[in-house]
Structure 1
Amino acid sequence: MEFENKTIIITGAAGIFGCWIAAYFAREGARLCLSDIRMDGLEKAVAELGLDRSKVLLHATELTRDTSMLELVDLIRREWKAPDILVNNAGIYTRFSLLEMEFSDWDRVFGVNLRAPFVLSREMAKLMIAEGKKGSIINISSGAARKMNQNSVPYCTSKTAIERLSKGFAMELAEYGIRVNVVEPGFAPGSEVSELSDEYVANMLKNIPLGRSSGPEDAPGAIAYLCSEKAAFITGAVLSVDGGNSIGNYKRPPRAADAG
């Protein structure tokens, strides 16, 4: 198991993708630091995943507060000295008209989706450099980085920006052997805070060329690959793991049975 006793930080760990990533690396024998805004959400995730508590750190992190993020950094410094892998998974998806949204709504989206990954990537990279670790940083983006959606402009813009920021970090951290890459997961029912209707899910699936939603092995498998020795010569890359959803507009052809 390549990740046996590797130390991995996952933000947004109480959400669906965060839980999937945690479960994947736990099976690989990694030690995890799970971060989310709610401690009760983290405790629930640990219980539901059946994680070994002796190999798990938990931190309730408010990603719009510098003091909270620096508390997370201090926890890692005390417990591990430096992480091997940082997965900036936390994100906010909001639906606001640009003409109606509050300035504070804009600031929160960019605070969580862009500023927090900048702060944590920089501070965790400093720990890696101090310990001589050739670590890996993964930023979670979205196909929305290339496709503007009405009423979710702040989200789309923040995801475009995180992909550019990732390339910048990849350039500046290359001399230390620290690699920085991006994964764009696909649509997963339940990844939204709000409940998704069956009709909404069915319509989404029609737009995915490979005809299904993202599963628990898809994005985590891509993340693990990019953090592995198999990807030792990959940095600054963006890997879409979305069944082709971000390629462009897609209309599923009717099946023969439907046509008949």
Structure 2
Amino acid sequence: MEFANKTVVITGAAGIFGRWIAAHFAAEGAQLCLADMRKEALDAVVTDLGLDPVKTLLHTTQLTDETSILELVALVKARWGAPDIVINNAGIYTKFGLLDMEIADWDRVFGVNLRAPFIISRAMAKLMIADKRKGSIINISSGASRQMRNGSVPYCTSKTALERLSKGLALELAAYGIRVNVVEPGFAPGSTVSELSDEYVTNMLKRIPLGRSSGPNDAPSAIAYLCSEKASFITGAVLSVDGGNSIGTFETGELGKTLGTAARG
């Protein structure tokens, strides 16, 4: 029970990764504050994971609304004073060509993927500092931060900026013993917020060198490590947990078969 009685705040908690992260920390004894814009989906997380209501707080957070975000922060402060761990997991992936997209769509992507993590990290860090708590902040990014994708430029750009923001936060919060790191999870299809076509999923899976999509223990285990005492000397780091997807292009077709045969031989 490595995180027994530790307080963990998770945004986007009703999504695929959010559920997996919540399950991992709950199994390690943490008390959770789960935030998501979908109330019924949050309630389902509590039921499906069998979470202890005494150790669980829920907040329906609109991440494009600063007032809503600050209500989340106030809820955590009222209950626990300060969190030990904050995981900015929420994000939206959109498919818009730059020439066709509305400015409002651009603003929404950056509002959720960059502005909200900034507001949350800063506000939660202030609680940690006031409580003299050496906490940990994890920002969830993507390999898209290093490689542009046609039709997803706003998402890629927002994740690049999030990683730079994370390093800046790590630098400025180090004096208070607060560590800030980034995890880039692997591809996990099935999101109900950012739905993907079957064709897109098939093509993405073909690119992953280790031959599978992300599972329920992959990213959460990496996040837990970075939040643990084992990683007490790590801050400002970016950890890819993506089956090698961010390394480069993975060959498919006849050349891929040849390479696979050579490797097995």
Question: TM (normalized to structure 1)?
Answer: 0.96
SS at match of 1:189: coil
Cα contact 1:17–1:191 (8 A) shared by 2: no
Residue 168 of structure 1 pairs with residue 168 of structure 2: yes
- CA distance 1:198–1:99, change in 2 (3 Å): closer
Cα contact 1:136–1:227 (8 A) shared by 2: yes
- Report the AA paired with residue 66 of structure 2: D
Worse-matched range after superposition: 51-60 or 81-90: 51-60
| Cα distance in structure 1, aligned partners of 2:94 and 2:85 | 28
Cα drift, residue 196 of structure 1? 4.6
1:221 corresponds to which residue? Answer: 221
- Report the AA paired with residue 207 of structure 1: R
Report runs of 4+ in structure 1 exceeding 4 Å deviation: 194-199
SS at match of 2:138: strand
| Cα distance in structure 2, aligned partners of 1:36 and 1:194 | 14
- CA distance 1:11–1:74, change in 2 (3 Å): same
Alignment of 1:1-260 (within 5 A): 1-191=1-191, 193=193, 196=196, 198-252=198-252, 253-254=256-257
- Report the AA paired with residue 5 of structure 2: N
What is the RMSD of the two structures over their aligned residues, measured on CA atoms? 1.2
SS at match of 1:43: helix
SS at match of 1:23: helix
SS at match of 2:182: strand
- Report the AA paired with residue 170 of structure 1: A
- Report the AA paired with residue 53 of structure 1: P
SS at match of 2:98: coil
Cα contact 2:34–2:58 (8 A) shared by 1: yes
Cα drift, residue 147 of structure 1? 0.4
1:152-190 per-residue CA deviation (whole Å, 9 max, x = no partner) reads: 100000000000000000000000000000000000121
Cα drift, residue 202 of structure 1? 3.2
1:31-55 per-residue CA deviation (whole Å, 9 max, x = no partner) reads: 0000000111100111111111111
| Cα distance in structure 1, aligned partners of 2:67 and 2:173 | 24
Cα drift, residue 191 of structure 1? 3.2
Question: TM (normalized to structure 2)?
Answer: 0.94
- Report the AA paired with residue 88 of structure 1: N
| Cα distance in structure 2, aligned partners of 1:35 and 1:61 | 6
1:63-106 per-residue CA deviation (whole Å, 9 max, x = no partner) reads: 11111001001101100000000000000100111111111111
Cα contact 2:208–2:243 (8 A) shared by 1: yes
- CA distance 1:75–1:196, change in 2 (3 Å): same
Aligned residues: percent identity?
74
| Cα distance in structure 2, aligned partners of 1:206 and 1:119 | 37
- CA distance 1:100–1:201, change in 2 (3 Å): closer
Cα drift, residue 203 of structure 1? 2.5
